[in-house]
Amino acid sequence: MTELIKLWGSGTARTLRPIWMAEELEINYELSPIGPRTGETQTLEFTKINPKQKIPALQHGEFNLSESLAICKYLQKNFSSKNIYIPKDEKDISKEDEWCNFIYGELDETSLYVMRRHYDLKDIYGESPIVVEACRKYFIRQLDVVEHHLKSNQTIFKAGFGLADIFLMTCLDWAVFYEFSLPNNVMQFRDRIALRPAYQKAMKINYSN
């Protein structure tokens, strides 16, 4: 693939994911570090790329893509690296999909992002301590699944670090920012993954502004 990968968006857990994936895959990419509520997603240029006016987004030649999971899976499928486990067997691919959908659906969307709406963004969506507390309890309950799995696993897949770990780590960082106390196995996982050079580089890039 000769066309340059261009990524749009920085400053959030969701924009970190494709940046981190690109760094793990050692892809030559260009980043346009626009923010989620700066007005930059509403420009005509960006709306042509993503009519939903959301970040992150990807351009690859004439191909445009949005949603952090879709972008990461596209990069994973079209590039390869010894740094990251990329499943080839259909059952392993399905298991990776299962984990990523669980993490994105239950930890991110249903818990942390709903908290964000009524916690960080209460001036926009309204303050609701009841909703925030319910999200906290739900997040902890769902995290028990991860805690049990990591009791006998260093990463989500025994074969090594992969896409599901990227999604989990971004949610854990988000949770720590929201002052969650992480259980033992999950905390040890986070400490291990934080040592990865690509993670450290992606964090600096994503949050530099």
Write down the pLDDT at residue 122.
Answer: 86
The count of other CB atoms within 10 Å of the CB of residue 42 is: 10
Query: Each residue of 90-120: b (16+ CB within 10 Å) or e?
Result: eeeeeebeebbebbbebbbeebbbbbbbbbe
Q: Render pLDDT for 166-185 as a digit per residue (tens, 0 to 9).
A: 999 999 999 999 999 999 99
Q: What is the DSSP string of 15-83?
A: HHHHHHHHHHHT--EEEE---TTSSGGGSHHHHHH-TT--S-EEEETTEEEESHHHHHHHHHHH---TT
Q: What is the DSSP letter of 195?
A: T
Write down the pLDDT at residue 165.
Answer: 98
Residue 166 is which amino acid? I
Nearest alpha carbon to residue 17 among 78, 66, 59: 66
Write down the pLDDT at residue 37.
Answer: 86
Query: Each residue of 51-83: b (16+ CB within 10 Å) or e?
Result: eebbbbbbbbeeeebbbbbebbbbbbeebeeee
Instruction: Over range 82-98, report the average pLDDT.
Output: 95
- Tell me the C-alpha distance between 115 and 205, whole Å: 25
Q: Render pLDDT for 15-66 as a digit per residue (tens, 0 to 9).
A: 999 999 999 999 999 999 999 989 999 999 999 999 999 999 999 999 999 9
Specify the 3-state DSSP secondary structure of 6. Answer: strand
Write down the pLDDT at residue 119.
Answer: 84
